[in-house]
Structure 1
Amino acid sequence: MPRWTRLTHSLTHSLSSFPWKYNSWSDTIYGLGAGIFFLGYFLFEVPSNLILHKYGARRWLARIMLTWAAISASFAFVSTPTMFYAMRFLLGAAEAGFAPGVILYITYWFPSKRRAKVLSLFFMAIPLANIVGAPLSGYILQTMGGAHGLQGWQWLFMLEAVPSLFLGIAILRYLDDSIAAAKWLSPDEKALLQANIASEAAEKVEHANVASFLRDKRVWLLAAIYFCVVMGQYGITFWLPTIVKNAGVSDMISVGLLSAIPYGFALAALPFIGFSADRTRARRAHCALPMLLAAVALFGIPHASSVAMALGLLSIAAIGSMASSSQFWSLPTAFLGGMTAAAGIAAINCIANLAGFVSPSVVGWLNDITGKQQAGLMFTSSALLIGAALVLLLPAKTVNR
């Protein structure tokens, strides 16, 4: 279930079509609006995950999906930049806790030695959503404009919110909060799974209070690493259609179809990277090396001499950014446990996702003042290089479990 909730989240999360309605909106307005989402996300992330840990994933993840779908559909009626900013903030507040909540939920079911594969499968929903969502968005924009008095961009937001609505209801009916609550497991199966989780719980850190949690330098280092990961991820997610368009593709459907190609390669690569991480236990390398790969690819995009070359580099960048994002979460979940895991995963994600505000805002501003994409891509590439270097500061014995 988490994999498919992530799919619908990513489908409607795309704003790449929104500025096409408002031709007067600059990259700065678009980037700022895209980034404001993460302010709401930041404020409500930790409380959301603590609520999930206390009251259960089923009700809380369903709440996130249902409120998020309603707000996302309401974007169809946005008419000014101010409304755009306000709705983006509300969307972030509604979604806060989703990603760390699912990651925390995964720790309830899978021990550390099997978690990289599962995280890879979960994060496969991001490229899968873009493979489906990019061409679907282009098709809706180009074919449904004017239907029943609504523009194509309005249909886009309303139609792509529908899967989240239905899956929110499905979560309420079918998602089990824990191994103990699973009706589809026998008593022996439950005992085996619970023993696997309990065997590593004694080795994990559970801080006694907030002060000891805040003094743990590893938490802050992990937040800094994931900040750089998110910089790269959103640098690609938010600007990929624009990069394809500037490479010489003008038709909306073609832009959508070509934008899906990099995510297709990422989708194929993620499970192999996850299997390799669990087999070798080299968790730091499986996070840092994809970041380096993405950084080099982003650096080369401005020098691409054709659409095919640009798509090739974008594909490498997508593989690197998605792989580093999925494999990062095997690091904190290897040593954080209990309520500390709930707060820690949320705090790391919450702090790091401020990059979702910084990345599109700064990249949009750099693109506007220079008139070129090169400055924004260099900025994103540099962030990934810094993040890869920071991974090496993590003690290997802490995360290679």
Structure 2
Amino acid sequence: MNEPVDKTFIQRQAATIGMQLWQVPADAAPVSQPLEGGEHVDLVVVGAGIMGLSTALQAARRGLSVRVIEAQEIGRGASGLNGGQVIPGLKYDPDWLIEHFGEQRGKRLIAFAAGTADSVFDLIRTERLNVSHARNGWIQAAHTDTALRAAEKRAQQWSARGVNASILSPGEIAAKTGALGYIGGWFDRRAGVIDPLAYTLELGRIAAEAGARIAVNERVTRLTRHAGAWRVETAGGRSLVAKTVVAAANAYSDGLIPGLARTIVPLHSFQIATAPLPPSIASSILPGGQAVSDSRRILIYFRKSPDGRLMLGGRGRMSLPRSAADWAHLERAMTRLFPALEGVAIERRWFGRVAITPDHLPHLHEPQDGLIAAVGCQGRGVGLMTSLGARIAEYAATRDPAALPFPVSPIRPIPFHRFRRVGVAAAIAWYRALDALER
């Protein structure tokens, strides 16, 4: 049985869409082509986020016939609502990947992870996407000696592999961020920032131009395997047949694939944006335009927008927001880091849903032949899912397992998943209290 659509979440999320910071490209045109019923295609992609659209784009360019089916509008999920930080790498350092996956697989993973930011900025450049972007690097800011030692280790490992990375002194990180409370960090010059909504919409445009047919506001409700193909049915009563199906809903996964939604913990990422900063303040906050994430257990991330606002995000409440007070923890974090922003108006508040896996790695699954699913971005979704989509498209076209950077694993639901969110909420509250003691 499929789990019911979370209509309350969709409605509450839609109410915040108009409050977000990101922009629809001025020349954006509708790309939707409604389902006709009875279609036969090589590939159906369920979900029109970054990974789904990247998969569709690259599969269409490989000559596959492609249908994308999206339950909402393009950009309504986390792909269009995230912080727009394009960060390469994974949560784990290169040496750990080799130790955990072995020399051969580990080196392939390192090479894949190292190039995820390149995939985004190269696509924007070569396709001339109408996406605001800047590639000025990313800073992981350390607030304790332990965190600084971890940053030094990470920078050393990537530098040994040719990455232009460096450690920042207390004075350097203060100058680059303008924030209080950090004692150093590491600076990765591969990274940058984009407008994620514009990027997702532009991916939809070029995927459609490549031949992928996209249907929006159409929810897939059932997948059945028959005679070597997949029958895909929707809530609107339409159906089509595909050789391969890619489930690309990530944090919005429901009961379409049995057990998949129970392999992740969905969390809410809340974000705020100030009014455009006065020049006297703006010149001292992120003068180089870098993106920043910090080392706290419940991390804070921030960047500037093209029109001079400070955007700051972090974990929000587990339940849905009810009022502006649900973003108050971010406002407190902002003025703690930047006391000069006391009294500056908060003009945007929004949130999205993200997926966390227990081991903090992306997971690839193929529970039946020709049914592929990917979940778990771990805060690096823009670059990771752009790159992963291209690899999944290659796999769909060639069936070569070497195309996939991560090993395909069985679907293993988290034990007592129903209670996991309660435990995570308690852990977040505890970690936030510990973070407060380490200011």
If the length of structure 1 is used for normalisation, what is the TM-score? 0.27
Q: Which has the higher contact order (CA 8 A, sep 6+)?
A: 1
Higher helix share: 1
Higher strand share: 2
